[in-house]
Structure 1
């Protein structure tokens, strides 16, 4: 669950992204797993989902291989894009601001740390990500 006010809009990184509506300081908790709001889906249940829903899980949910479970957010989290220079640092059940965030900054994470199974980055030539 994203703990700051946020909105979803077109992203310069890829498709849609999630952006902050408020400032945050480096180290502030921006996202936290909330089991009453977010959902964990056992891998074995994907075969019972219609293809578009299974694809949504594989391309948007964090995967925990040791537990064979996907964690899918139920807010703007589903639109969080990958960045090689992410605005958030993954600490497991929390993500904190990697740097001070301004209103309008895109909330991003590193899919090399936050494992998303069907992540396929856009070609480098298409990336228009700005550096802070």
Structure 2
């Protein structure tokens, strides 16, 4: 659950992203895992879902830390956070996320998916789409 005010808008990284709606200072906690707020989905549930929802789950979930076979679906704008190799956040802790740089209102909030998703790889289509970028950004799905 994001602990800061955000909005979703057009992203130069991929489609849409999540942006700061308030100033965020380096070191500020911006996220806390909240199972009472965010949806936990058992992998065994996915096959029974309609194809469109399975695609949604594939795009917007990530593995639940420490519990194989369970995914997290953020219930807020966090699910639109895009991947960057040079993120402005730190999500290595499985419960809390922090800003690692000052983030101005209107600036896109990014994270490195590999910090919380073991084995993360960008989809080939996104690798090709972002091959010419020097900032290392790209996404297979939003956080």
Task: Could you list the structure 1 runs, at least 4 aligned residues long, displaced by more than 4 angstroms after superposition.
Answer: 116-119, 126-131
Q: Which of 115-124 and 73-82 deviates more?
A: 115-124
The Cα shift of 1:122 comes to 4.0
What does residue 30 of structure 1 align with? 30
Name 1:107's counterpart in structure 2. Answer: 109
Q: Where does residue 141 of structure 2 map in the other structure?
A: none
Q: Which range is displaced more, 22-31 or 121-130? A: 121-130
Is the aligned partner of 1:41 residue 2:41? yes
Using the alignment, how far apart are the partners of 2:68 and 2:94 within structure 1? 13
1:66-125 per-residue CA deviation (whole Å, 9 max, x = no partner) reads 521110101111111100011111111111001111111111111122328685234333
- Where structure 2 has 5 or more consecutive residues not aligned to the other structure, the ranges are 138-143
| Alpha carbons of structure 1 residues 130 and 7: separation in structure 2 relative to 1, 3 Å | farther
Q: TM-score, normalised by structure 1?
A: 0.87
Contact 2:85 2:136 in 1 (8 A): no
Kindly indicate whether residue 126 of structure 2 is the aligned counterpart of residue 125 of structure 1: no
Matches within 5 A, 1:49-68: 49-64=49-64, 66-68=67-69
Alpha-carbon distance between aligned partners in 2 of 1:86 and 1:63, rounded to the nearest angstrom: 20
| 1:93 pairs with 2:95 | yes
| Paired positions, count | 131
- Which deviations, in whole Å up to 9, do the C-alpha atoms of 1:15-69 show, x marking residues without a partner? 1000001111111111111122111101111111111111111121111475211
Question: How many angstroms apart in 1 are the aligned matches of 2:134 and 2:18?
Answer: 16
Q: Which runs of 5+ in 1 are unaligned?
A: none
